[in-house]
Amino acid sequence: MTHFDGLGISEALVTLLKQQGITEPTPVQEQAIPPMRAGRDVIAQAQTGTGKTLAFLLPLLAKIKPQGAVAQALVVAPTRELAVQIAHVAEPLGTALGIGTIAIYGGADMERQKEKLRRHPQLIIGTPGRLLDHVRRGTLALGSVNKIVLDEADEMLKMGFIEDVEALLAQTAQDYQLALFSATMPARIVQLTKNFMTNPVRIHMEGERTTLDNIEQIVLSVREGEKIDRLCASINEEAPYLAMVFCATKERTRALMMELAHRGYLVDALSGDLTQTQRAFVLRQFRAAKLQILCATDIAARGLDIEGVTHVYNYDLPPTVTDYIHRIGRTGRAGAKGKAFTLVAAHQHEKLRKMEAALKERLRRDAVKKKPHQPRPAEERGQIAARKGGRKRTAAKRAKPKSHGRKAGKTVTNIGRRSRKRR
């Protein structure tokens, strides 16, 4: 069995990882760390949740010279949330080695970022647009950067950032080492590797299986107009510790959040129209289990690694199988078990079958729970018989419909009921 010290990781970092409950490297870490420490370019095709953040951070930190008061390493991520998350992992590791780290992303105060850059951090983590903005303003010099990581490169392509990435690479040292991590390898990403890499080591993890094996996947068949009730019924039954619910648009995300809040759930929304301060606050609340449910769009949740997510709900079907994998990969991380529910109406089953064909797996169905037939009381049957002949039934004589409202005290919060497992 391989351990981090067997991969050449320093004793200080090994000790710090042990304190965090991390003792054995994941497969992608085993394969990526040695060539990166040897200075090789690396192409790693791996899904989220496989441990790729440490796979590139550990060899980067090992090669940074703490005494050098210039930027030496650059990590580029597609979203500010992912940049913040990577920085959150990197900062304590860097501090143990005397290495300064900064996260640079849009939506944050530019002057504050300038001030932090003047302290000459050695490791820069950021999003393409804001990094390039600092380069053009002259507040960030990349001429001494010779170690670069592109994380979730396919997402940067999807979001239109590849030209910015290429512009950043052109500003770095000529003898740079480049590592690219991506869930998929579209033609444009393949071309980028040909243009900017030299004899790269290729790593291909069976990401779909790595991501999905620990996740129980269930299809919830729903009738039109009953989707919200079906979602709530499942939440009440499952009592998730933390649950993420994915919607197709920010408008639907907001509407669902408001409806769930109206029904008494501890819920908030994460969408692209929030300010960075608002997004950071929502994520802090969710990570601290002050919220039970987080409604989100695909873009807003891309790359998030939130400890303790036990359930994922696809309230709206994902547009692609890759999006499906990214969504449900919010749970079942680092060996933990998780559940993923996908709500599907009758007219969506063809799209579901196509997604299953791409997954090479048929998801378990959980059919709509039919309401038991309630025979009419004898007295009521007699009243109906007497009215035959055209006499209109009055509202006063109608049977009062059974209430489907939420019982008092039925809200599921589950906060503090179970300890959060270490990832």
Has residue 49 got a pLDDT over 80?
A: no
Q: Are residues 21 and 85 in the same domain?
A: yes
- Asked if 297 and 272 touch (Cβ cutoff 8 Å), the reply is yes
The domain of 132 spans 4-205
Q: Are residues 136 and 156 in the same domain?
A: yes
Contacts of 103 (CB under 8 A, 6+ apart): 83, 84, 86, 87, 125, 126
**pLDDT confidence bin for 342, thresholds 50/70/90:** very high
pLDDT tens per residue, range 227-286? 999 999 999 999 999 999 999 888 999 999 999 999 999 999 998 778 878 888 999 999
Measuring CA to CA, which residue among 263, 246, 249, 359 is closest to residue 309? 246
Q: Are residues 250 and 154 in the same domain?
A: no
Q: Are residues 221 and 354 in the same domain?
A: yes
Within-domain flag for 311: yes
Within-domain flag for 394: no
Residue 276: its pLDDT value, please? 77
Region 330-345: mean pLDDT is 87
Percent of the chain with pLDDT over 90: 53
Q: Are residues 197 and 49 in the same domain?
A: yes
Which residue is listed with tokens 């869930």? 183
Within-domain flag for 269: yes
**Residue at which a domain ends, from 205, 222, 242:** 205
Within-domain flag for 408: no
Q: Are residues 198 and 59 in the same domain?
A: yes
Q: Are residues 45 and 182 in the same domain?
A: yes
**Residue at which a domain ends, from 328, 351, 366:** 366
pLDDT tens per residue, range 87-107? 989 999 999 999 999 999 998
pLDDT tens per residue, range 201-231? 999 876 444 457 789 999 999 987 899 999 9
| CATH code (residue 308) | 3.40.50.300
Instruction: Tally the domains of the chain.
Output: 2
Q: Are residues 191 and 229 in the same domain?
A: no
Residue 307: its pLDDT value, please? 84
Q: Are residues 200 and 220 in the same domain?
A: no
Q: Are residues 200 and 216 in the same domain?
A: no
pLDDT tens per residue, range 71-90? 999 999 998 888 988 998 99
Within-domain flag for 418: no
Contacts of 292 (CB under 8 A, 6+ apart): 240, 241, 242, 243, 265, 266, 267, 412, 413, 414, 415
Rounded Cα–Cα distance for residues 214 and 336 (Å): 7
Within-domain flag for 387: no
Q: pLDDT averaged over the chain?
A: 83
Within-domain flag for 163: yes
Has residue 156 got a pLDDT over 60?
A: yes
Q: Are residues 97 and 114 in the same domain?
A: yes
Q: Are residues 28 and 75 in the same domain?
A: yes
Residue 418: its pLDDT value, please? 37
**Residue at which a domain ends, from 205, 238, 262:** 205
**pLDDT confidence bin for 303, thresholds 50/70/90:** low
Within-domain flag for 402: no
Q: Read off φ and ψ for residue 171, nearest 5 degrees.
A: -90, -10
Cα atoms found within 13 Å of the Cα of residue 32, Cβ hemisphere only:
29
